[in-house]
């Protein structure tokens, strides 16, 4: 891999994995009944919830949890990240010619939060730039392919566009890896993983209860507070 490596290779592979998984899910989803799609959505929600819960319970710090979520939620609500995410989703829906898809924005936001939140995205992008090693992001690309495949089959084509979110998020980390690397200590990454898994749990809950959603996007600054903790 090192012989063919360039900064950002891992993110490009991750983006490609999401697109491939999404296209397979979109094509296959056309042949699924509404009942099957609903069952797949429930299965995906359960998988995300237990994935998040398992990660949180391994390294739970009550004070970290409270400080990060409350502080991050306050910052996120003031900035209103959730609204900006939705506006971007609406813009994408229009630009991609999917104005008639009522589930597009929710699918895009849900999928984006699922594949962007987590320590793998951060440490993978840093390794990609500083160590010339895309292994972590290649593993993540495989996992994301499967996740987006199932989510697209149940939620729709909006999930495929989460590749843009991943490209921007991980690409930015790759660019600024030299600055971020000194702060990404083992403890910081552990805290990031814990709070990231809490937010992933919230994404799963939202899939189960779409009428009463947790503003996961507004809680994203909690990840920064967790690293600073």
DSSP for 79-99? Answer: HTHHHHHHHHHHHHHHHTT-T
Q: What is the pLDDT at residue 167? A: 92
How confident is the model at residue 19, as a pLDDT? 94
Report the pLDDT value the prediction gives residue 138, as an integer from 0 to 100. 86
Question: Cα–chain-centroid distance for residue 199?
Answer: 10
pTM: 0.75
Q: Quick one: which of 118, 107, 5, 104 has its CA closest to 52?
A: 118
Residue ranges of the chain with pLDDT lower than 70? 1-5, 210
Q: What is the pLDDT of residue 15?
A: 94
Distance CA 81, CA 72 (A): 11
**pLDDT given at position 4:** 67
Instruction: Give the residue extent of every domain in the chain.
Output: 2-228
Percent residues over pLDDT 90 in the chain: 12
């Amino acid at each position: 891999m090192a012989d063919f490596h360039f900064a950002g290779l891992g993110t490009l592979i991750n983006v490609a994995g999401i697109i491939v998984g999404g296209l397979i899910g979109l094509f296959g989803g056309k042949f699924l009944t509404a009942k099957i799609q609903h069952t797949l959505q429930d299965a995906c929600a359960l998988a995300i919830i237990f994935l998040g819960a398992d990660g949180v319970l391994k390294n739970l710090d009550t004070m970290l949890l409270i400080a990060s979520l409350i502080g991050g939620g306050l910052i996120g609500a003031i900035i209103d990240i959730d609204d900006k995410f939705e506006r971007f989703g609406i813009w994408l829906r229009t630009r991609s010619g999917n104005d008639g898809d009522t589930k597009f924005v929710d699918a895009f936001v849900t999928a984006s939060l699922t594949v962007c939140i987590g320590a793998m995205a951060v440490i993978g992008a840093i390794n990609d730039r500083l160590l010339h090693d895309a292994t972590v992001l290649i593993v993540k690309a495989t996992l994301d392919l499967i996740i987006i495949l199932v989510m697209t089959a149940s939620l729709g084509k909006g999930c495929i566009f989460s590749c843009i979110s991943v490209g921007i998020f991980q690409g930015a980390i790759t660019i600024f890896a030299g600055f971020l690397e000194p702060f990404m200590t083992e403890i910081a990454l552990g805290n990031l993983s814990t709070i990231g898994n809490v937010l992933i749990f919230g994404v799963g809950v939202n899939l189960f209860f779409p009428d009463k959603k947790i503003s996961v996007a507004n809680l994203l600054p909690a990840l920064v507070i967790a690293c600073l903790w």
